[in-house]
């Protein structure tokens, strides 16, 4: 009886490991926060930097939260996993667990508890984190696109949106030139008539849904990784804030004023 139970548990563990591996292989990026909740400062004891280093070591494409994200993440956050390190209570040991969540805030992987008996915090956290990351040894992670689970962003949409964001980032003070040359080069920005109705932003996973007073969903805004710039879902367009006003734009010279209350 004990032998059968042992083999049943062994098979369960093997399938559990395989299931985790398949799921993780479907995700392209891992986002590491700049501060963990159990610490008082950003990258205290260099624990966040070490976390990024260890994810890189195991083959993941790792980014710090808030950095400039790759193009295919602008409109599809589901390509990435958000990482976290959790501290368990212990009197004589430092215990850490590495956790990964998908774009719906669902835990898809949790490491074994890493432990250390060291008393000095920096050393203890370092050793406990490395011990927790041993759970990744057997995964043999390798990114494998899976359109059913986390579909890739359409190349055309990504390219257009990325170009618009780049143009916004590269806005500089004008250089004084010959008035005639300025007139020839100038491409006026067309501001269309703004919407009469007030719109309201409702937080959702990965961004906001914009509704009118009905309430009817007008559009869905996905976080771009840049402050005050959002990607309009299923559109080659962005919504951005300039000098306190919100605009909808689908080209570098065309924008529509919006009244959005966040």
Distance CA 50, CA 34 (A): 11
Q: What 3-state class would DSSP assign to 253?
A: coil
Summarised one tens digit per residue, pLDDT across range 52-102 is 999 999 999 999 998 888 877 765 778 899 999 999 887 789 999 999 998
pLDDT, residue 13, reads 41
Distance CA 244, CA 71 (A): 26
- The class (CATH top level) of 25-136 is alpha beta
Angle between helices 47-57 and 121-132 (to 10 degrees): 20
pLDDT, residue 111, reads 94
pLDDT, residue 156, reads 44
Here the tokens at position 251 are: 């080209």
pLDDT, residue 134, reads 95
Q: Hey, what long-range contacts does 151-156 have (CB within 8 A, 24 or more apart)?
A: 151/76, 151/78, 152/72, 152/76, 152/79, 153/71, 153/72, 153/74, 153/75, 153/76, 153/79, 156/236
Domains in the chain: boundaries: 25-136, 155-261
pLDDT, residue 204, reads 85
Here the tokens at position 20 are: 């985790």
Summarised one tens digit per residue, pLDDT across range 220-243 is 998 876 778 888 888 888 898 888
pLDDT, residue 182, reads 45
pLDDT, residue 116, reads 95
pLDDT, residue 153, reads 39
- The tens place of each residue's pLDDT in the chain, 262 residues long, gives 444 444 444 433 433 444 444 478 989 999 999 999 999 999 999 999 999 999 999 999 999 998 888 877 765 778 899 999 999 887 789 999 999 998 888 899 999 999 999 999 999 999 999 999 999 998 889 998 875 444 443 344 445 555 555 665 555 445 455 555 544 444 454 445 444 578 998 888 778 999 988 888 899 998 876 778 888 888 888 898 888 899 998 876 778 899 998 8
């Amino acid at each position: 009886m004990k032998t059968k139970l042992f083999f049943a548990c062994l098979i369960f563990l093997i399938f559990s490991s395989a299931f985790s591996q398949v799921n993780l292989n479907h995700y392209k990026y891992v986002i590491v926060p700049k501060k963990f909740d159990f610490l008082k400062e950003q990258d205290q004891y260099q624990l966040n930097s070490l976390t990024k280093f260890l994810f890189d070591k195991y083959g993941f494409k790792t980014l710090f939260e808030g950095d400039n994200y790759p193009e295919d993440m602008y409109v599809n956050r589901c390509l990435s996993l958000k990482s976290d390190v959790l501290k368990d209570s212990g009197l004589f040991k430092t215990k850490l667990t590495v956790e990964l969540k998908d774009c719906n805030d669902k835990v898809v992987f949790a490491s074994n508890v890493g432990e250390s008996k060291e008393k000095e915090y920096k050393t203890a956290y370092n050793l406990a984190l490395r011990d927790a990351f041993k759970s990744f040894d057997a995964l043999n992670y390798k990114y494998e696109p899976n359109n059913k689970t986390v579909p890739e962003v359409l190349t055309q949409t990504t390219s257009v949106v990325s170009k618009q964001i780049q143009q916004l980032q590269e806005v500089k003070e004008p250089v004084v030139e010959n008035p005639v040359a300025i007139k020839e080069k100038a491409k006026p920005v067309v501001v269309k008539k703004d919407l009469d109705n007030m719109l309201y932003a409702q937080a959702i996973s990965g961004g906001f849904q914009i509704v009118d007073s009905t309430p009817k969903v007008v559009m869905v805004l996905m976080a771009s990784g840049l402050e005050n710039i959002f990607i309009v879902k299923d559109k080659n367009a962005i919504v951005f804030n300039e000098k306190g006003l919100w605009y909808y734009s689908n080209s570098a010279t065309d924008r529509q004023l919006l009244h959005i209350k966040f």
